[in-house]
Chains A and B, each alone.
Chain A
């Protein structure tokens, strides 16, 4: 039974040295145990999934609706009050192995996290605000001199009378970033259970402190923009 994903928080980046003495850029990700808050079964919900919560929360930070939902997962040793609920799909036969209110620790054996393994990491990317099309869509800029005033302008957005409208999905200026982004095929460099930390080669979406989801890599897939 390998749980298919963990929730963590991005701590920041640094560099470490590998066995060959090469400096590797790494992102530090802190992982807390997950609490099982709901089991979704094919009989009841049409699919099998485990809903888990990350990090204990205080009662005052939760709404009554949330507390009502979480109370169902309450056990004697676990208050069940957590934040950041998230579902992970599991196979129909595996669902029986999970019990409500139990904890899933990312660092016990059977975890997919080990040095050298490949993972996909998702999180909310850094918000860039309202950006022009040059930055947002990597459009080319116009000439900077020779009388040109079209430095970073969008240019033509389509023909005239036919089709006499602007096509949907045309790439223009607008809000950039602060979207769910997945970086695929990142390598786990080191797992430090006593610090509850994994070091991942390279960068990971989002600002420091952002919640991220880490899953075993699916292999390279074309990322949807």
Chain B
């Protein structure tokens, strides 16, 4: 669907590097917000429960429980409003969309940490464990 000409226009607006995000990862997003006429950067931390879209339209949904209330924010990854996004912890999950997290709280809402082994011999298989 996406045409080469459109891609070349989008390219100017794409960020050069973005971290490798996966569902289950705990991330810290720094968002620029405008208060009055001042601009400042606010940090938002939570778990990636959904990644969708491609190219300039790629978004990430980050969930956190704040004062007992679940909050989900959707960030347009290539938006200049998203100053940075960093992975704090890789999570091990078996779904690509973690909507089940909405029904869970406390201990049930834990996500196992993904152990990343970078040895060439173990390759992708070890990556998944």
B80 touching A21 by the CB < 8 A rule? Answer: yes
B13 on the interface (CB 8 Å rule)? yes
Interface residue total, chain A, C-beta cutoff 8 A: 15
Chain B residues in 8 Å Cβ range of A15:
56-57
Chain B residues in 8 Å Cβ range of A16:
9-10, 13, 56
B30 on the interface (CB 8 Å rule)? no
Chain B residues in 8 Å Cβ range of A12:
1-3, 6
B6 touching A14 by the CB < 8 A rule? Answer: yes
B1-21 residues with Cβ-Cβ distance < 8 A to A are 1-3, 5-6, 8-10, 13
B5 touching A195 by the CB < 8 A rule? Answer: yes
Chain A residues in 8 Å Cβ range of B110:
none
A14: which of B56, B76, B79 is its contact (CB, 8 Å)?
B56
Report how far A36 CA is from B72 CA in the complex, Å. 57
Residue with the greatest number of chain A CB neighbours at <10 A, chosen from B6, B78, B81: B6
Chain A residues in 8 Å Cβ range of B81:
21
B6 to chain A, nearest CB (A): 5
A21 touching B79 by the CB < 8 A rule? Answer: yes
B32 on the interface (CB 8 Å rule)? yes
A39 on the interface (CB 8 Å rule)? no
A17 touching B2 by the CB < 8 A rule? Answer: no
Chain B interface extent, by class: 10 to 19
Report how far A90 CA is from B2 CA in the complex, Å. 38
A70 on the interface (CB 8 Å rule)? no
B13 to chain A, nearest CB (A): 5
Chain A residues in 8 Å Cβ range of B8:
195
A86 to chain B, nearest CB (A): 23
Residue of A nearest to B32 (CB): A21
Report how far A16 CA is from B76 CA in the complex, Å. 11
Report how far A17 CA is from B11 CA in the complex, Å. 12
Chain A residues in 8 Å Cβ range of B79:
17, 21, 23
A191-202 vs B, CB cutoff 8 Å, 1 = contact: the mask equals 010010101000
Report how far A28 CA is from B12 CA in the complex, Å. 14
B78-93 residues with Cβ-Cβ distance < 8 A to A are 78-81
B85 to chain A, nearest CB (A): 15
B74 to chain A, nearest CB (A): 12
A120 on the interface (CB 8 Å rule)? no
Report how far A14 CA is from B8 CA in the complex, Å. 11
A195 to chain B, nearest CB (A): 7
Chain A residues in 8 Å Cβ range of B1:
12
Chain A residues in 8 Å Cβ range of B13:
16-17
A199-222 residues with Cβ-Cβ distance < 8 A to B are 199, 208
Report how far A140 CA is from B35 CA in the complex, Å. 45
Residues of A within 8 A of B (CB): 11-12, 14-17, 21, 23, 28, 30, 192, 195, 197, 199, 208
- Which 5 A-B residue pairs are closest in the complex by CB-CB distance? A21-B80, A21-B81, A14-B6, A16-B13, A12-B6
Query: Can you name 27 A-B residue pairings with CB atoms under 8 Å?
Result: A11-B3, A12-B1, A12-B2, A12-B3, A12-B6, A14-B2, A14-B6, A14-B9, A14-B10, A15-B56, A15-B57, A16-B9, A16-B10, A16-B56, A17-B78, A17-B79, A21-B32, A21-B79, A23-B76, A23-B79, A28-B3, A28-B5, A30-B5, A192-B9, A195-B5, A197-B9, A199-B9
